[in-house]
Structure 1
Amino acid sequence: MNNRAKESDRQLLYDMNERIKKVAANMERVQISDYMQLMNRPWRLIFNNLIGGLARGVGIAIGVTLFTSTIIYLLQMLGALNLPIIGDYIAKVVEVVQSELDTHKSYR
């Protein structure tokens, strides 16, 4: 082989080495190894998803409870004020609901 071919091979090997280093750095950056370990252990994946789902469910339940209790508290405070506008509105809502219930009872 002549010097030109050897130099070309060296350059090719150097370029390939640099590309492999970049790919390895990118894989490390996106944590492919952690993902692959998780995929190789399906029971651990199921357990992690179960715990995550339970945590989300408990968080949603607590959030909805706090929100609903705040709304109920505010409505009780408004009811205690005995404002005529709100009282009339609530009375109309109750009448509509009652009439709908009576209508549905007659269909049975």
Structure 2
Amino acid sequence: MKSNQPEQPKDMQELRQSLGRLEQRLQGVAADMERTQIAEYVKLLNRPWTLIWKNMLSGTARGVGIAIGFTFFAATILYVLRILGALNLPIIGDYIADIVRIVQIQLEGKTY
């Protein structure tokens, strides 16, 4: 019959290796949680007025950005249409003239 004493150091060594791997994995999980800033998110959820204020500011900034972007886009389109209208191209010029005519009729309050 064999004694269990030679196996104990081997089991202890495997246990230490296993615990070492577990510790490394836990440190990795802790580092990942720090990178995702979960604590700050939970703190923000526990303060609803701060959350509302930050969402209000971000929504306002987004709305202003959209308005500025659309204005720039529309001005660019109108500039290009003005240049194309000045070239008196047969097809495009007639199309732009139709658009101008429709807009003028709508401004006068008449239906076309």
TM over 0.5: yes
Cα 1:80–1:22 shift into 2, 3 Å: closer
**Candidates 52, 55, 58, aligned match of 2:61:** 55
Deviation at 1:31, TM superposition (A): 0.9
**Candidates 25, 29, 33, aligned match of 1:27:** 33
Q: Matched residues, percent identical? A: 53
Deviation at 1:86, TM superposition (A): 1.7
Q: How does 1:1-80 map to 2 (within 5 A)?
A: 11=16, 20-80=26-86
Cα 1:77–1:17 shift into 2, 3 Å: closer
Deviation at 1:46, TM superposition (A): 0.9
Instruction: Map Cα deviations across residues 25-54 of structure 1 (whole Å, 9 max, x no partner).
Output: 222121111111111111111111111111
Cα 1:90–1:21 shift into 2, 3 Å: closer
> Is 2:85–2:96's contact at 8 Å kept on the other side of the alignment?
no
Larger helix proportion of the pair: 1
- Is 2:89 the partner of 1:83? yes
Higher-RCO chain (CA-CA 8 Å, sequence separation at least 6)? 2
Can you give the 5+ residue segments of structure 1 that lack an aligned partner in the other structure? 103-108
Deviation at 1:82, TM superposition (A): 2.0
Deviation at 1:13, TM superposition (A): 7.3
Alpha-carbon distance between aligned partners in 1 of 2:23 and 2:73, rounded to the nearest angstrom: 58
What code does the residue aligned with 1:84 have?
P
TM-score by structure 1 length?
0.63
Can you give the 5+ residue segments of structure 2 that lack an aligned partner in the other structure? 106-110
